[in-house]
Homo-oligomer: A and B are copies of this chain.
Amino acid sequence: MARNRSQDKYYRIILAATRVFAKKGFFHSRISDIAKEAKVADGTIYIYFENKDAILIALFEEQMRAVLDNMVAQLAKEPDSVKRLEIFACTHLELIEQNPDMAEIIQVELRQSGKFMKEYRNERFAQYLDLIADIVREGQASGIFKEDVIPNVFKRAFFGALDEMSRFWVLSSRRHYDIRTAARQVSGYFIGGIRR
A128: interface (CB < 8 Å): no
- Copies of the chain in the assembly: 4
Complex Cα distance A193/B82, Å?
13
A63: interface (CB < 8 Å): no
A182: interface (CB < 8 Å): yes
- A 128-164 contacts with B by CB, 8 A: 149-150, 152-154, 156-164
- A 150-196 contacts with B by CB, 8 A: 150, 152-154, 156-165, 167-168, 171, 176-177, 181-182, 185-186, 188-195
Docked-complex contact B153 and A112, CB < 8 angstroms: no
Nearest residue (CB) in B for A159 is: B164
**Contact size class for A?**
35 or more
Query: Chain B contacts of A177 at CB under 8 A?
Result: 150, 153
Nearest residue (CB) in B for A22 is: B113
Complex Cα distance A127/B7, Å?
48
A83: interface (CB < 8 Å): no
Q: Mark A89-128, 1 if CB is under 8 A from B, else 0.
A: 0000000000000001001100111100110000000000
| Known pairs A28-B114, A190-B193 / 6 extra A-B pairs, C-beta < 8 Å | A108-B112, A111-B167, A113-B171, A153-B165, A153-B185, A161-B161
